[in-house]
Amino acid sequence: MKYDFDLFVIGAGSGGVRAGRLAAQNGQKVGLAEEYRYGGTCVIRGCVPKKLMVYASEFSEIFEDAAGYGWTTGKCSFDWAAFMKSKDKEIDRLESIYKNILTNNKVTHFRAHAVLKDCNTVELSNGKKFTAKHILIATGGHPFVPNVLGSEYAISSNEVFNLPKQPNRALVIGGGYIACEFSCILNGMGTKVTQFYRGEQILRGFDEEVQNFVAEEMREKGVDLHIGKDIKSIAKVETGLLVKDNLGNEIIVDQVLYATGRIPSTQNLGLDAVGIKKGLKGEIIVDEFSKTNINNIFAIGDVTNRVQLTPVAIVEATAFIETVYKDNPTSPDHDLIPTAVFTQPEIGTVGLSEEAARKLEDIEVYSATFRPMKVILAGRNERMLMKMIVSKASRRVLGCHIVGHAAAEMIQLAGVALKMGATKEDFDRTMAIHPTAAEELVTMNTPTR
């Protein structure tokens, strides 16, 4: 049978664009449909604009700290509208780059919603139909907002990037990395931030020492963090939004931001009609090679709910190309993925938490907390945490956790060492760079427990 395309990609996020580009470079005729903007969640309303907001929010402390280093500064204020204008300009530039990547590699792309009509046919919202030998679904995910009375007055992490006005008072709901990041961002920009999380501690799934450390530091920086609290209702009143919690308390804020997780975007894609199997959260179920239960249909990225990280989607896209078009069956490697959380202070982590490691074998824990040199003259009572989990039997470093300035930059390189199977003694043999915070990773010589 002759098809219109060798490959049709649904979704132009980081994974979809990478797969489309590589397939085209390999000589395949590629079509792609994206219903929103090129670049996906990460570029348009995720990692990139969020990191720009993180940078913007950090200047409040930088200006304060400058006085301790001899700088005289005047009264500072934050211009939300000016920042948003600059941020939007950069996002537009990046979207253009993603679009040009497709065009320059001769990928035929459509600004349209795509629906599967059968295992080889897609129908676009512009009325066009195309056939393809292979179909790749890379539609990502979207924020989940619980069905709470008055939830229509709340926003998600999507809308926060386009707020026309900075809220004076904000309530952030959730305890995951997105909720904690936006609590810190808004707090740094001058918003009075309250955060509710219904669980026992924020950042569930992270190392417990890291969880407790970050929660304490966030409170120290001004975030009014409440554990064991959730929203019961939201109502619009003259002075803002009246929020009632599960404990019978009330609070009035200008904005309620829900950051209670993300779910795969598998709605209205025609998956059920084709018979593609989905999981409990709506995620597309795939095998180790990202193939669905339909032989010629694959899925990558957040829509599969494996690991919701942009670099993972890119790796999965590359593995898909190797498997389907280069006769080299390749399973994406999801082991030992370095991760960063851009809270303030930020977190960098790779490998096992102390709790997870203890369930597997006997371990040693090396941990140090200290005031970094950067804040001493500023008089800021801010601390850093460095932690390593080591196997007693093999001496391999099973986990590394950093909390503090530039933690993400440090953990990227620590991740290389762990991926290579570095032992504690390998770290010990490495000469320290003084004075740095990172030298703690190679000078901790006595287990704390």
Query: In whole angstroms, what is the distance from residue 369 CA to residue 373 CA?
Result: 13
DSSP per-residue string spanning 199-255: SSSSSTTS-HHHHHHHHHHHHHTT-EEEES--EEEEEEETTEEEEEETTS-EEEESE
Question: Any idea which residue has 């950051």 for tokens?
Answer: 259
193, amino acid identity: V
CA atoms of 185 and 177, how far apart (whole Å): 12
Q: How far is CA 186 from CA 116, 189, 210, 215, 353, in A?
A: 41, 5, 22, 16, 29
Instruction: Check residue 1 and give its pLDDT.
Output: 82
Beta strands 250-253 and 192-197, pairing class: unpaired
375's tokens? 């804040």
Per-residue confidence band for 284, with pLDDT thresholds at 50, 70 and 90: very high
Helix (H/G/I), strand (E/B), else coil: 160 = helix
Pairwise CA distance, residues 420 & 77, whole Å? 47
Looking at residue 174, what is its pLDDT?
Answer: 97
d(CA 219, CA 176): 16
Over range 350-363, report the average pLDDT.
98
Question: Does pLDDT of 256 surpass 90?
Answer: yes
**Residue 388, pLDDT above cutoff 90:** yes
pLDDT at residue number 20: 98
pLDDT of residue 105: 97
Set out the domains of the chain in order of their start, with CATH numbers.
Answer: 5-142+263-325 (3.50.50.60), 151-260 (3.50.50.60), 339-443 (3.30.390.30)
Mean confidence (pLDDT) of the chain:
97
Band (289; pLDDT cuts 50, 70, 90): very high
Token pair of 289, please? Answer: 């090679």
Which one, of 32, 20, 11, lies nearest residue 269 by Cα? 11
Active site residue 401: no
Residue 36 has pLDDT above 90, yes or no: yes
What percent of the chain is helix, strand and coil (3-state, nearest 5)?
35, 25, 40
pLDDT in tens, 139-178: 999 999 999 999 999 999 999 999 999 999 999 999 999 9
Q: State the pTM of this model.
A: 0.96
pLDDT at 73 over 90: no
| DSSP assignments along 253-273, one per residue | ESEEEE---EEE--TTSSHHH
- Cα separation, 22 vs 269, in Å, equals 24
Residue 246 in tokens: 């599960």
